């Protein structure tokens, strides 16, 4: 059996023109690059020679997570001009990922790309491109990763993506919650969608909100007393007035509430928690949202009149000392 050795070919013999030949080939064979990446670039998203001011980036597209990717090709030895282009295109397209493919990477540019990964939010790759063949076989590309994101950078990127996914899912849940709530009550009318864990609503009293709390596996409704920096004593006065009515409030509400008055926090809260599910399970959303909105309406009905009396008493007490 005859075994042939790998032969290295001159890059320009395979791709004579950087833009017309190599960039066109890479656009049509992006899977070759995807094999060496921690993500896949969507072939349908790729644009060639997209304008960035007076310059044009070789390739721009998106990966499977919707992140923007720019690719700059240089078949010769890496130079400062192309490094500058990589940075320019990254800024112009607000890219999350930059890929620089060169024929011969200089040590100083290897260090520069490594520094970008360690010192910025950009995910940067430096590849060396070679052309090889075995015996009489056609020429084939050989891409070698010279520099990529460090393990810590990968973990940060993964964490950012997980956070983005959480916020997207929670935002969809919050929108559905507000939409249903709007058909039952005006407490949260005018509130736009939010990706946060809390959704504020009006209680009818300044500095006091009726709040939805949303987690992966549960929801809560709050009466949240927090008027501001110089109102800690007032917050507590309102809370203590309600606490004195604890038994009758809970009897009317139909369950025990969590009464939160931590000394380390100037805010005061009354909380009812549900364990029917949170934003993770789409199929449970209708039942979870219905039950959560029902709890909010009930909490408002139970505390509204009592809250007016509590605020009036707290205002009178504060006036004595002002």
The span from the CA of 141 to the CA of 315, in Å, is: 77
Interatomic CA distance for residues 198 and 219, integer angstroms: 10
List all residues 6 or more positions away from 162 whose beta carbon is below 8 Å from its beta carbon: none
Domain that holds residue 233: 164-321
| Mean local confidence (pLDDT), 80-109 | 93
Instruction: Give the pLDDT confidence score for residue 78 in this predicted structure.
Output: 95
For the entire predicted model, the pTM comes to 0.55
Rounded mean pLDDT of the chain? 87
Residue 157: its pLDDT value, please?
A: 58
Quick one: 182 and 55 in the same domain? no
- Residues making up the chain, counted from first to last: 322
**Burial degree of 38 (CB within 10 A; 0-12, 13-18, 19+):** middle
Q: Are residues 189 and 270 in the same domain?
A: yes
Is residue 272 domain-resident?
A: yes
Rounded mean pLDDT of 283-296? Answer: 95
- Provide the b/e sequence for 146-185 (b: ≥16 CB within 10 Å): bbbbeeebeeebeeeeeeeeeeebbbebbebbbeebeeeb
**Residue after which a domain boundary falls, among 95, 125, 149:** 149
The residue out of 117, 149, 181 marking a domain boundary is 149
* pLDDT tens column, 262-277: 877 788 999 999 999 9
Are 99 and 69 in contact, with CB atoms under 8 Å apart? yes
Q: Could you tell me if 206 and 250 lie in one domain?
A: yes
Q: In the listed set 149, 175, 193, which residue is the last one of a domain according to the structure?
A: 149
- pLDDT at residue 158 tops 70: no
Q: Is 155 part of any domain? A: no
Bridge partner residues of 200 (DSSP): 211
Token pair listed for 238: 């309102």
CA distance 62 to 39: 10
In whole angstroms, give the CA distance from residue 267 to residue 300: 18
Other CB atoms within 10 Å distance of the CB of residue 282: 12
pLDDT in tens, 188-198: 988 776 777 88
pLDDT at 52 over 80: no
Residue 316 pLDDT greater than 90, yes or no: no
| pLDDT at residue 259 is higher than 90 | yes
CA dist., res. 40 & res. 268, Å (int): 49
- In CATH, what number is assigned to the domain containing residue 46? 3.40.1350.10
Question: How far apart, in whole angstroms, are the C-alpha atoms of residue 274 and residue 290?
Answer: 11
Instruction: Please give the distance of CA 31 from its chain centroid, rounded to a whole number.
Output: 27
């Amino acid at each position: 059996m005859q075994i042939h050795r790998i032969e290295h070919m001159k890059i320009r013999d395979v791709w004579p023109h950087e833009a017309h030949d190599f960039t066109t080939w890479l656009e049509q064979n992006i899977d070759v690059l995807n094999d060496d990446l921690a993500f896949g670039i969507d072939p349908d998203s790729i644009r060639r020679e997209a304008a960035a001011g007076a310059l044009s980036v070789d390739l721009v597209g998106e990966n499977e997570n919707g992140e923007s990717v720019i690719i700059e090709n240089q078949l010769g030895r890496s130079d400062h001009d192309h490094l500058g282009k990589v940075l320019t295109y990254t800024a112009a397209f607000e890219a999350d990922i930059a890929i620089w493919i060169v024929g011969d990477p200089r040590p100083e540019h290897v260090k520069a790309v490594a520094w970008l990964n360690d010192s910025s939010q950009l995910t940067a790759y430096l590849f060396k491109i070679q052309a090889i063949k075995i015996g009489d076989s056609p020429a084939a590309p050989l891409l070698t990763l010279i520099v990529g994101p460090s393990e810590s950078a990968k973990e940060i990127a993964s964490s950012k993506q997980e956070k983005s996914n959480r916020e997207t899912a929670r935002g969809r849940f919050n929108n559905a919650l507000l939409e249903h709530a709007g058909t039952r009550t005006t407490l949260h009318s005018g509130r736009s969608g939010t990706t946060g864990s809390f959704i504020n609503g009006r209680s009818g009293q300044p500095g006091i909100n009726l709040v939805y709390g949303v987690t992966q596996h549960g929801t809560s409704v709050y009466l949240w007393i927090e008027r501001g920096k110089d109102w800690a004593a007032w917050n507590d006065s309102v809370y203590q007035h309600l606490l004195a009515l604890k038994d009758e409030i809970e009897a009317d509400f139909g369950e025990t509430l969590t009464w939160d008055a931590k000394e380390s926090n100037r805010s005061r809260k009354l909380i009812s928690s549900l364990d029917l599910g949170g934003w993770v399970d789409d199929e449970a959303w209708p039942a979870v949202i219905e039950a959560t909105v029902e709890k909010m309406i009930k909490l408002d009905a139970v505390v509204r009149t009592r809250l007016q009396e509590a605020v009036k008493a707290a205002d009178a007490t504060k006036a004595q000392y002002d």
